[in-house]
């Protein structure tokens, strides 16, 4: 990404900011991710790529989620979804926010929206497991955890999400 910054002229040099944004979000580094948002927004606007602004909304939503600012996170995730109506996996993040706000019915609704479109996504099933476990619906939670583990059965041994799902299943003694 540093090479992109040094080899390209403005505004293309800002493309590295988009890469950095997603790296920092993957690392749950809200502070550094937030520093990238102005450059990503500038990059999108200078190129006339309005739908690239969706990355700004996604990034801000994830930053809000990391900082436990659930209502602004929901707003940003919904703006992202308006710009990317086929990115329905974001509904699991919205569900997590509603759960943290104590709005269990909405948490269920949004988790089901994500699962409807991605029924075999191990990540979404694992997140649904966490949501339903917190809701106290242990039977439903276990079903989602089993599905996540089934899909991840051949995952690399060092793949952290699969490791977490395996530990969770083993912790249940199932």
Closest alpha carbon to 144 in 100, 111, 109 = 111
> What is the model's pLDDT at position 118?
95
pLDDT at res. 2 = 60
Q: Are 100 and 70 in contact (CB under 8 A)?
A: yes
pLDDT digits (tens, 9 = 90+) for 11-55: 666 778 888 999 999 999 999 999 999 999 988 888 777 778 999
pTM for this model (two decimals)? 0.85
Q: What are the tens digits of pLDDT across the range 85-98?
A: 999 999 999 999 99
Helices assigned H by DSSP within 27-159: 30-47, 54-66, 70-83, 90-100, 104-117, 122-135, 138-151
- Judge whether 70 and 58 are in contact, CB under 8 Å: no
Torsional class of 155: left (φ above 0), alpha (ψ -120 to 50), beta (otherwise): beta
Burial 125-154 (b: 16+ CB within 10 A, else e): bbbbbbbbbeeeeeebbbebbbbbbebbee
Question: Of 50, 55, 49, whose CA–CA distance to 12 is shortest?
Answer: 49
Q: Measured between alpha carbons, how far is 92 from 65 in angstroms, rounded to an integer?
A: 12
Cis peptide preceding 104, ω within 30 of 0: no
* Least confident span in 10-14, 105-109, 164-168, 170-174: 10-14
44-79 pLDDT, tens digit each? 888 777 778 999 999 999 999 999 999 999 999 999
When the pLDDT of each residue in the chain is averaged and rounded to a whole number, the result is 91
Is the predicted pLDDT of residue 10 greater than 70, yes or no? Answer: no
């Amino acid at each position: 990404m540093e090479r992109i910054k040094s080899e390209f002229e403005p505004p293309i040099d800002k493309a590295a900011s988009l890469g950095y944004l997603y790296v920092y979000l993957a690392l749950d580094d809200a502070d550094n991710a937030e520093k990238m948002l102005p450059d990503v927004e500038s990059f999108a606007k200078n190129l006339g790529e309005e739908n690239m602004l969706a990355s700004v909304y996604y990034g801000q939503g994830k930053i809000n989620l990391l900082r436990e600012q659930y209502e602004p996170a929901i707003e940003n995730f919904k703006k992202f979804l308006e710009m990317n109506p086929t990115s329905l996996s974001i509904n699991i993040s919205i569900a997590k926010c509603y759960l943290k706000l104590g709005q269990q019915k909405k948490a269920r609704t949004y988790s089901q929206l994500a699962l409807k479109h991605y029924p075999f996504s191990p990540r979404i099933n694992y997140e649904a497991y966490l949501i339903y476990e917190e809701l106290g619906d242990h039977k439903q939670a276990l079903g989602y955890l089993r599905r996540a583990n089934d899909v991840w059965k051949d995952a690399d041994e060092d793949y952290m999400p699969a490791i977490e799902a395996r530990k969770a299943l083993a912790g249940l003694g199932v």
